[in-house]
Amino acid sequence: MTAVKTVVIVGSDTGVGKTFVGCGVARALVDIGRRVVAIKPVETGCADEPAPTEDGVQLARASGQRSPRMALRRFRHAITPALAADLEGGAVELAPLRADLARESAAADILLLEGAGGLLSPLAWTWSLIDLALALQATALVVAGDRLGCLNHALLTVQALGQAGIPIAGVVLSAPPVPDASTGGNFTVLRRLLPGRPIAALPRLPLPDGDARFPEIARWLCP
Give the residue from 64, 56, 11, 1 showing the smallest Cα distance to 34: 64
Look at residues 102, 101, 94, 172 and name the one whose alpha carbon lies nearest to residue 130. 94
Please indicate whether residue 5 is annotated as part of the active site: no
DSSP H helices in 137-200:
150-164, 185-193
Pick the catalytic residue from 5, 18, 27, 40: 40
In 3D space, the residue among 108, 114, 132, 130 whose CA is nearest the CA of residue 44 turns out to be 114
The answer for residues whose C-beta is within 8 angstroms of residue 101's C-beta and 6 or more apart is 1, 39, 41, 72, 111, 113, 136
Catalytically active residues are 40
